[in-house]
Structure 1
Amino acid sequence: MRANALRDWFEKQGNEVLISHPLETTFKPYAFGSNFYNFIQKKLPAFHNIYFYFLEFANLHRNPIFIFGTKKWLLEISDFAPDIVFSVHAHLNHGYYLLLKEQLGRSFKFMTYCGEMSDSSGFSRHWVNPNIDSFLGPFKETCEAAVKRGMPDSKVHEVGPLLRKAFYKKQNQSDRKKILEKLSISANLPLYLLGTGANGANQHIPVLNALNNEDSKFQVVALCGNNNKVFNEINNLKGLLNFKVFPLPTIDDVEMVSLLKSAEFLFARPGAGTTTEAVVCGTPMLFDISGGIMPQERNNLNFWSGRSKNLIKLSSPKRLPVYLGHRIPKINVEIDEAPVKLFNHLEAAICKS
């Protein structure tokens, strides 16, 4: 998500951007590890308390000697000849950085953008490499976590969230109404928004069944992303519900902003991407922690509890109706009309390279 957002913004400025996924494309066991990570996020989040800490101490990608399958990838990067290498993944900041230094044989800037919102035991130490040129973070809490882990303060910069373009634009009520009408959603009924993580993790079916016992009038939008199984299940369930539900596959950024700004609340796991979008839109949020809390989710829960007097976590999605009609906490983070601080930092780095 962040890589695509950066590409869209940076190409608009007349720059060339190449997105590369070395962990997913260079060596099959690495791809298996990424897929396994996604699988347990959907099926057994609590197991991340084992897998995350295994990755923390296994150091699989810190020494370039033990990184495999990179020959073709290094040639691809060499052909592109980047002025800046911009990492948005914790496990690309050490061994892969050293491989690029050896391969490129020329001056380039290596920057890490960490999307974690705050500190906790789930803030990976692999985000921090004092030898790279810059560590960039969306919030001061992110930057403080990096300094705490040994990143030189002079290399750490708070540059704000890196999101898709629509999140930076002003959107009035008339604009939102048009988007809702396009999606056949009423602008006159309370809207409950159920979120899905990038990997398709959600609890839509048990939430919808629990809401079916409510007498009040409302409508539900269930974001399904690439989870076709849940999308089809909800379509089959529609006729049995006493309220309207709108299952949506992957949607664009304008639609996402409209839904977040129209919703009474968002119910979703405390992932960094989803939670950042919610706080930028000022959307009240209920956190789904069914199946346990993943270590990296604690970063975002700590951000919320540090900036809000209240934090609502639901270990069972069936309890969501308890909070209907209650004031649900929200955080509103103001951002510029574009990621200006990030642009300025990148442009300054290009001038120096």
Structure 2
Amino acid sequence: MKILVLTSSTGGGHDSRARALRLWAESEAAKQAGLQAEVRIVRPLEDGSRFYRLGTWLYNAIQKTCPRLHQLYFPFLERANLHRNAGSILGSRGFRKIVRSFEPDVVFSVHAHLNHGYRDLAMQAMASKPPAFVIYCGELADGPGFSRHWINPEADLFVGPVEETCEAARSRGMQASKTFRSGFLLRPSFYHRLPPDDEASFVRRKWDLNPWLPLLVLGTGANGVNRHLKATRPFLSMGKPAQVVALCGSNDRTLRNLEALPEGHGFTLRALPTIGASEMAPLLRSADLLYARPGAGTTSEAIVCGTPMLFDVSGGIMPQEQNNLNLWKKRTGLVPTCENPGEVHRYFSKGTRPVAYASDETPLRLLEKLHSIVASR
């Protein structure tokens, strides 16, 4: 089976899910189950037009500098219909060429704006043997940021990680027979849990941390957006034992500034660049609290790892983030948010509640569904 994945680098969650599908499709577990697939990932927006590339840049710039401006930009994109008509899509010839050369059995979209016009272009490119078209929506619940562009009744399947996602799709016109709850689409390490003592030992050895002291993890998005300095400084004057791991991602400036801060009085700080899933998963499972933006990717990882979250809403809440906050409130009864990073230490001392999650499902369930769709055509 050949899968062509359509994604876009608006935020980090879409690309993360695209890479996760490829890792699972090419894994030894998929091979043993007879579910292996060849996966190619493409970004039709960024690669198809300078205009679309500018739109991606603008989306990420707003997310970095003033998330509340997405209260204006998101409704504009909802109404603009930039990618619903195949005949008006920029770079359509190049996209059709990619489809014809790869000849996928499945075109798998993980982005809201790739589900209409690009679906039609894929069908045109392989008119004699059309591929199945599958939409994977990473949103965790209904809300103001659940794009109408996720829904296309002409698609062969709409996939959501949780039942709340599928309910939102059905309420917007997706046929119940075409919706499928697959579970979360994360990298393999998030499903390979070590015994608790082994995970504690890993964290202690890897970053020289005490597994018996409270651990706060400061998360960052794919764009390097974070408020780590403001969140960390109060710990320096508390005089209480505490451990903070600050994930800086691609933000080298924050990394250097954190490394320059003094330690002492029982306070331990570890500032880290981008780390892999094999390190991220045990770190999150060992954390007493994760402070991060309420993006779908980070929130999904926290749910699977059983990590309590404090949501960073400084600069305002994006409509898309509100969807994920809605799920957290539904599942726990609370939405722990913090507008001022300087107050994180107060929440850390009190703690928050994780989302209960005990499923042993993996993305092999999704691959099995894709194989069954291809076999039935």
TM-score, normalised relative to structure 2: 0.90
* 2:272 match: secondary structure: strand
Equivalent pair of 1:314/1:320 in contact (CA under 8 Å): yes
Equivalent pair of 2:191/2:362 in contact (CA under 8 Å): yes
Matched with 1:300 is 324
After superposition, what is the alpha-carbon deviation per residue over 1:58-93, rounded to whole angstroms, capped at 9, x for unaligned? Answer: 000111121112322321221110000110000000
Equivalent pair of 2:183/2:361 in contact (CA under 8 Å): no
After superposition, what is the alpha-carbon deviation per residue over 1:104-150, rounded to whole angstroms, capped at 9, x for unaligned? Answer: 11221000000000000110000000111000000010001111111
User: In 1, Cα distance between the equivalents of 2:165 and 2:361?
Assistant: 21
User: In 2, Cα distance between the equivalents of 1:168 and 1:341?
Assistant: 13
User: In 2, Cα distance between the equivalents of 1:240 and 1:73?
Assistant: 56
Matched with 2:10 is none
Equivalent pair of 1:281/1:332 in contact (CA under 8 Å): no
Matched with 1:42 is 64
1:25 aligns with 2:47: yes
Equivalent residues in 2 for 1:244-259, closer than 5 Å: 244-259=268-283
1:168 aligns with 2:191: yes
* 1:50 match: secondary structure: helix
Equivalent pair of 1:222/1:248 in contact (CA under 8 Å): yes
Matched with 1:5 is 20
User: In 1, Cα distance between the equivalents of 2:112 and 2:244?
Assistant: 35
1:184 aligns with 2:199: no
User: In 1, Cα distance between the equivalents of 2:232 and 2:287?
Assistant: 16
Matched with 2:303 is 279
Equivalent pair of 2:217/2:246 in contact (CA under 8 Å): yes
Candidates 86, 108, 112, aligned match of 2:135: 112
Equivalent pair of 2:240/2:265 in contact (CA under 8 Å): no
Q: Which amino acid aligns with 1:102?
A: Q
* 2:26 match: secondary structure: helix
* 2:261 match: secondary structure: helix
Matched with 2:177 is 154
* 2:246 match: secondary structure: strand
1:236 aligns with 2:251: no
User: In 1, Cα distance between the equivalents of 2:255 and 2:58?
Assistant: 22
Alignment gaps of 5+ in structure 2 = 1-15, 31-35
Matched with 2:342 is 318
Change (3 A) 1:238 1:5: farther
* 1:18 match: secondary structure: strand
Deviation at 1:205, TM superposition (A): 0.8
Deviation at 1:325, TM superposition (A): 2.5
User: In 1, Cα distance between the equivalents of 2:207 and 2:240?
Assistant: 22
Bigger shift: 330-339 or 253-262? 330-339
* 2:122 match: secondary structure: helix
Candidates 40, 52, 59, aligned match of 2:74: 52
Deviation at 1:229, TM superposition (A): 2.0
Bigger shift: 41-50 or 163-172? 163-172
Change (3 A) 1:62 1:17: same
Candidates 123, 139, 142, aligned match of 2:146: 123
* 1:24 match: secondary structure: helix
Q: Which amino acid aligns with 1:8?
A: L
After superposition, what is the alpha-carbon deviation per residue over 1:173-214, rounded to whole angstroms, capped at 9, x for unaligned? Answer: 233134321233332322110001122211101001122231
Deviation at 1:50, TM superposition (A): 0.5
User: In 2, Cα distance between the equivalents of 1:236 and 1:33?
Assistant: 36
Equivalent residues in 2 for 1:33-112, closer than 5 Å: 33-105=55-127, 106-112=129-135
Bigger shift: 109-118 or 236-245? 236-245
User: In 2, Cα distance between the equivalents of 1:226 and 1:22?
Assistant: 24
Matched with 2:289 is 265
User: In 1, Cα distance between the equivalents of 2:265 and 2:71?
Assistant: 37
Alignment gaps of 5+ in structure 1 = none
* 1:196 match: secondary structure: coil
TM-score, normalised relative to structure 1: 0.96
Equivalent pair of 2:216/2:287 in contact (CA under 8 Å): yes
Bigger shift: 223-232 or 291-300? 223-232
* 2:149 match: secondary structure: helix
Change (3 A) 1:7 1:285: same
* 2:90 match: secondary structure: coil
Deviation at 1:220, TM superposition (A): 0.5
Cα RMSD (Å): 1.5
* 2:238 match: secondary structure: coil
Candidates 345, 369, 373, aligned match of 1:345: 369
Equivalent pair of 1:122/1:298 in contact (CA under 8 Å): yes
Equivalent pair of 2:220/2:247 in contact (CA under 8 Å): yes
1:140 aligns with 2:163: yes
Bigger shift: 324-333 or 233-242? 233-242
Change (3 A) 1:66 1:215: same
User: In 2, Cα distance between the equivalents of 1:317 and 1:132?
Assistant: 42
Q: Which amino acid aligns with 2:151?
A: V
